[in-house]
């Protein structure tokens, strides 16, 4: 793959709209905005004396607003859409964010916990004339087949539903850009490490037969170049491997300095626990300023990152904004 020219931005803000974790007590900082009870809408309850708060909802899913600032202007996109029909749209309301302001939607891959919340966006906006950037393998029918257990088919995203809603579906295996070459979508990620082997129990339906598909080839990431700081790499689940993904971002851009790595690293399932140490060691070598593991990263890996990258590690939670 030829090197691409990723134009720099002055700064980027990433606001978590959906994640597995909510937290209204952790302190923020100048660069991490954590929204507490006082800024959330008030609601009445039949069992409470006095109004309570309409707090953020968490679920097994991921979604974030990515806003880049450059040349005295700003552009925003929605990266992934969570799992449930009302989860993301509800949290957008709590954040007081109007989804009509998004200029694009980027979907990291086709798994249902990153696309199900599009229902709420469609219901709110009606006919949605909005570009949606995906990899061609996004539509694959998939199932999880673990030896000794019955296979479980995963719900796949409906092309007719998205096209019927008015989305402008843009499919590409190769790297592409948004916002005047300031946000890079990696497309299909090079797999170069020996240990990031994907989901070994995953299968895809091809020619009416279930075939092994551990790679999740549609897994793609966002890359942003922040002036004077380096690359921000953002994954949805990181099925390609978070080390593979970050190294591929370096390869594509020719920029070695990593400012931040944010998103799901898919180290939570037990089958991935043996590769946590190697992943941590390789991320240490990449020397990011900020690491925000989210969603499917899992507790064991979160602890490992917090232990071995204490100055870089930041815990994620719904409603948090990271100023990078």
* Per-residue pLDDT tens over the stretch 121-134: 999 998 888 999 99
Place of tokens 């799992």: 83
**157 falls within a domain:** yes
**294 falls within a domain:** yes
Q: Is the pLDDT of residue 100 over 80?
A: yes
Q: Residue 53's beta-bridge partner residues?
A: 42
Going by C-alpha positions, the residue among 173, 172, 219 that lies closest to residue 196 is 219
Question: What is the mean predicted confidence (pLDDT) over 93-107?
Answer: 96
Question: What is the mean predicted confidence (pLDDT) over 312-318?
Answer: 97
Task: Please answer whether residues 316 and 19 qualify as being in contact, where contact means their C-beta atoms are separated by less than 8 angstroms.
Answer: yes
Identify the pLDDT of residue 129. 86
Identify the pLDDT of residue 37. 81
Going by C-alpha positions, the residue among 267, 222, 259 that lies closest to residue 241 is 267
Identify the pLDDT of residue 38. 76
pLDDT tens, residue by residue, 286-310: 999 999 999 999 999 999 999 999 9
- Report residue 203's pLDDT band, with 50, 70 and 90 as the boundaries: very high
**61 falls within a domain:** yes
**1 falls within a domain:** no
Question: What is the mean predicted confidence (pLDDT) over 90-105?
Answer: 96
User: How many other β-carbons are positioned within 10 Å of the β-carbon of residue 134?
Assistant: 25
Q: Is 261 helix (H, G, I), strand (E, B) or coil?
A: strand
**235 falls within a domain:** yes
229: containing domain? 8-323
pTM metric for this prediction = 0.96
**25 falls within a domain:** yes
**Tally of domains within the chain:** 1
**2 falls within a domain:** no
**3 falls within a domain:** no
pLDDT tens, residue by residue, 155-173: 999 999 999 999 999 999 9
Question: Torsions phi, psi of 242, nearest 5?
Answer: -70, -30
Distance CA 154, CA 161 (A): 17
Identify the pLDDT of residue 1. 74
Identify the pLDDT of residue 39. 83
State the average pLDDT for the chain.
96
Question: What is the mean predicted confidence (pLDDT) over 36-65?
Answer: 92
Q: Is the pLDDT of residue 243 over 90?
A: yes
In percent, the amount of the chain with pLDDT more than 70 equals 100
Q: Is the pLDDT of residue 245 over 80?
A: yes
Going by C-alpha positions, the residue among 259, 261, 228 that lies closest to residue 246 is 261
Within its chain, how far is the Cα of 211 from the centroid? 26
CATH code, 188: 3.60.15.10
| Paired tokens of 268 | 């939570």
């Amino acid at each position: 793959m030829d090197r691409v020219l990723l134009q720099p931005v002055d700064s980027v803000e990433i606001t978590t709209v959906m994640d597995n974790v909510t937290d209204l007590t952790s302190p923020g900082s100048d660069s991490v905005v954590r929204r507490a009870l006082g800024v959330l809408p008030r609601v009445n309850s039949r069992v409470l004396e006095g109004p309570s708060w309409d707090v953020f909802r968490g679920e097994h899913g991921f979604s974030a607003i990515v806003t880049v600032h450059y040349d005295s202007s700003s552009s925003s996109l929605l990266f992934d859409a969570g799992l449930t029909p009302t989860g993301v749209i509800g949290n957008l309301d709590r954040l007081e964010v109007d989804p009509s302001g998004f200029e694009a939607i980027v979907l990291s891959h086709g798994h249902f916990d990153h696309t199900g919340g599009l229902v709420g966006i469609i219901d709110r906006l009606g006919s949605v004339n909005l570009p949606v950037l995906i990899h061609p393998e996004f539509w694959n029918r998939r199932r999880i087949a673990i030896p000794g257990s019955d296979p479980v088919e995963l719900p796949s995203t409906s092309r007719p539903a998205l096209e019927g809603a008015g989305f402008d579906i843009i499919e590409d295996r190769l790297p592409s850009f948004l916002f005047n070459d300031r946000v890079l979508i990696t497309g299909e990620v090079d797999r170069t490490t020996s240990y990031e082997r994907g989901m070994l129990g995953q299968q895809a339906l091809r020619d009416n037969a279930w075939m092994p598909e551990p790679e999740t080839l549609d897994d793609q990431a966002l890359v942003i170049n922040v002036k004077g700081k380096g690359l921000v790499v953002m994954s949805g689940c990181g099925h390609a491997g978070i080390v593979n993904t970050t190294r591929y971002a370096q390869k594509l851009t020719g920029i070695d300095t990593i400012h931040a790595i944010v998103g799901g690293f898919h180290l939570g399932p037990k089958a991935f626990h043996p590769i946590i140490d190697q992943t941590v060691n390789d991320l240490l070598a990449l020397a990011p300023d900020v690491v925000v593991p989210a969603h499917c990263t899992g507790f064991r890996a979160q602890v490992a990152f917090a232990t071995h990258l204490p100055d870089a590690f930041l815990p994620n939670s719904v409603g948090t904004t990271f100023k990078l």
